[in-house]
Amino acid sequence: MGVATLYITLAICGVFCVWLIRRYDLHDREPWWAVLVAIAFGAGMMFLAGKAQVWVLSQGGHWVASNFNLSMAVCAGTIEEICKALVVLGIALVFGRVFNDPLDGLIFGALAGLGAAMEESVVYLMAGAKSGMLPGTEPVRLLGHLVMGGISCFGFGCLASGVARAERLAWWWLPIGMGVGIGLHVVWDIVAFDVGDRGAMSTGHTIASIAMMLFGFVAFGLLVVVGQRRSAGVFARADSVVAGA
């Protein structure tokens, strides 16, 4: 019963995260089947990302062995964010009618990140779950992957919705978002791995973690504002075309 309670608690946290994400989707809320597809494929790609990381690190030789934490952080941050982006790109290509909002890159990126975090949490919990209490790190993991996935994939929404055709700057959202998302992920992992090696969080670790969380949430929030403004413009133009017809 204890382990079952643990996974139920994890699922409740996941549902809460989905509710948070959908609150931002004001103009064209995604159907539930699309939400579940993004989460499921995010989890599946996270599983493949783990395999890819093992292979990439195995090719690094002496340098990776000498700088293992840094190598692992760069490898994990890069591959995992790319995998989230592949989920969003697949949804944009296959389900174009659903992926029609400047905010959709952030929404589906966050959902893919949530699926990735839940897969990672299940792996860790299966390896070390000894009680029915959900470790305090798990909600942080869920929200962290959610935020980083939303930031990394924001640009896909701008491109798919046609905003890029009207605003040249919109094309830059894709590399900027991916760069910030990967960078945040890498730095977070560097701190996390160092804490693991030392067995405790120092004052420096705490300050760095708080700074990264604040940066991530502020960046995510700013992108929500930008996306919602673009979304309002896109749907206002669509409504005016329909009214004129």
Instruction: Specify the pTM.
Output: 0.85
The pLDDT of residue 87 is 97
What's the chain's average pLDDT? 81
Q: Give 173's contacts (C-beta < 8 A, 6+ positions apart).
A: 154, 155, 158, 159
Contact 11, 90 (CB under 8 A): no
Mean pLDDT value across residues 82-104: 91
The pLDDT of residue 129 is 54
Describe the crossing of helices 104-128 and 32-58 by its angle, rounded to 10 degrees: 60
pLDDT of 241 over the 50 cut:
no
The pLDDT of residue 178 is 96
E strand or H helix at 75: helix 68-94
End-to-end Cα distance, the chain? 61
pLDDT of 239 over the 50 cut:
no
Band of pLDDT at residue 159, cut at 50, 70 and 90? confident
Place of tokens 């405790």: 200
Q: How does pLDDT run across 192-212, given as a tens digit for each residue?
A: 888 888 877 788 888 888 898
